[in-house]
Amino acid sequence: VIKCKAAVAWEAGKPLSIEEVEVAPPKAHEVRIKIVATAVCHTDAYTLSGADPEGCFPVILGHEGAGIVESVGEGVTKVKKGDTVIPLYIPQCGECKFCKNPKTNLCQKIRITQGKGVMPDGTSRFTCKGKQIYHFMGTSTFSEYTVVADISVAKIDAAAPLDKVCLLGCGISTGYGAAVNTAKVEPGSTCAVFGLGGVGLAVIMGCKIAGASRIIGIDINKDKYAKAKEFGATECISPQDSKKPIQEVLVEMTDGGVDYSFECIGNVGVMRAALEACHKGWGISVIVGVAAAGQEISTRPFQLVTGRTWKGTAFGGWKSVDNVPKLVTEYMSKKIKVDEFVTHVLPFDKINEAFELMHSGK
C-alpha cells in the first residue's frame, strides 16, 4: 500500500480537501500509476457540483492526467513498470462489440463498474481516514498515485512532457476529434464553434487542420477572442451583440448557414441554435458539450427533413488505446498544438484555485 496526497471530494458542493490517502496495490489486470501532472475539466466541476446523477462521494476526481507506471497486477501485458502513460476515461478492450465496430469508440467492457465509482471487481483501491473513497471516470487523476484497469491506459512516447500531454486525456482530443472524426470537416468549408473554452479551441484547431476556410467563434466572453484567432478562428461574434437569435445572424453572415457547427458548452438552447445555424441540405451540427442531467434538446423536425444532421461525440471519436499515443506523436511533431492550451500551472495543493480560474473563464 502506498500513502500519498490526493484531493478528496468529501461531499457535493464543497471545495476539494488535500488528504493523505492509502492506495492499494493493483489486482489482476490493473495498473498503478504515479501521476505527474493533471488538468482540471468542467466535467470534474459538474460532478463536484452535485448535478451528476452518477456522482458518488467521497471521491477522488480528475480525468486529464499523465504519469509513470509504478506497478502492474497479474496478467497485465500491454504496459510495464516505468512506462509513460495517459489514463483513459473511455477504455479500449478490443473485445466488446463496440471495440470491434469501427463506427464507435465507446468501449462498454467496464462501463457499469466505472459508473459506480469502483474497479471492475466492484471494490475501490482508495481509503482515507478509514473510509473507502470512490474512483472517478476510471481514472482519478487528482491523486499522486492512482489505480486503473489495464484497458484504461495508453502507453506514450517517454520523451513527451507530461505537464502538457495530460491535456490529451480529454479536452484537446475531444475537440480536435469532433472536427476531424465526427464532423469530418472538409477543405474550403465554413464552420461555427459555440463556446471558446479549451474544447472549443481544440475544435477550431481541428477545423483549421482539416482545411476549413472560414471559422466563426461564438462566445459571450470577448476576452476569449484573441486566443481563438491564434488557434485559427477567422472571426468571433457575441450573441449579445444582436437583437436577432444567433442562428439568424450566422445564416445571414454565411449566405444560408454554415457547413459544420459545434456546441462546446453543454447548453441545450445553444445546441438548438448550433443546429439551426447549419446550411439547408448538408449542414452538420455536432454536440460536444455535456448538458446537465434530465435536460432535453428540441428543434422543429423540418430542420432535419430539409437536410441538416445532428450528431454527438465522446472523446472526439478516438479509439483511445490506439489513438492517444498517435496524438502525442502529432504533438511532438508539431502537427497539433498543446502548450498553447495551458494558461496557469499551479502546485497540487492549489487545486481549488484552478477550479476558480476555470469557473471565471480564465
CATH number (domain holding residue 124): 3.90.180.10
Nearest-angstrom CA–CA distance, 48 and 51: 8
164 with 185, same domain: the answer is no
Assess whether 202 and 131 both reside in one domain: no
Q: What is the pLDDT of residues 243-273, one digit of tens each?
A: 999 999 999 999 999 999 999 999 999 999 9
Same domain, 270 and 283: yes
Range of the domain at 183: 174-314
Q: Residue 6: its pLDDT value, please?
A: 98
Please tell me whether residues 215 and 260 are part of one structural domain. yes
Angstrom distance (rounded) from CA 318 to CA 315: 6
pLDDT digits (tens, 9 = 90+) for 195-212: 999 999 999 999 999 999
Question: What is the DSSP secondary structure assignment for residue 89, as one 8-state letter?
Answer: S
Q: Are residues 202 and 127 in the same domain?
A: no
- Which class for 93: exposed (0-12), middle (13-18), buried (19 or more C-beta within 10 A)? middle
| Average pLDDT taken over every residue of the chain | 97
Give the residue from 295, 314, 333 where a domain finishes. Answer: 314
Residue 140 pLDDT exceeds 90: yes
Do both 297 and 235 map to the same domain? yes
CA atoms within 13 A of residue 109's CA, in its CB half-sphere: 21
What is the C-alpha separation between 162 and 86, in angstroms, rounded?
9
- Considering 299, 314, 329, which residue would you say is the last residue of a domain? 314
191 and 92 in a common domain: no
Q: Please check whether residues 121 and 24 belong to one and the same domain.
A: yes
Same domain, 27 and 132: yes
331 and 268 in one domain?
Answer: no
**What does the pLDDT read at residue 79?**
98
Claim to verify: residue 210 and residue 140 sit in the same structural domain: no
Per-residue pLDDT of 311-361, as tens digits, reads 999 999 999 999 999 999 999 999 999 999 999 999 999 999 999 999 998
Residue of 198, 194, 208 lying closest to 174 (CA atoms) = 198
Instruction: CATH number of the domain at 204, please.
Output: 3.40.50.720
Structural domains of the chain, count: 2
Per-residue pLDDT at 292 exceeds 90? no
Tell me: do 198 and 156 sit in the same domain.
no
What's the rounded Cα separation, in Å, for the pair 38 and 63?
A: 8
54 pLDDT band, cuts 50/70/90, is: confident
User: Is 306 in contact with 282 (CB distance < 8 Å)?
Assistant: no
Point out which residues pair with 311 in neighbouring strands.
286
Residue 181 pLDDT more than 90? yes
Average pLDDT (140-162) is 98
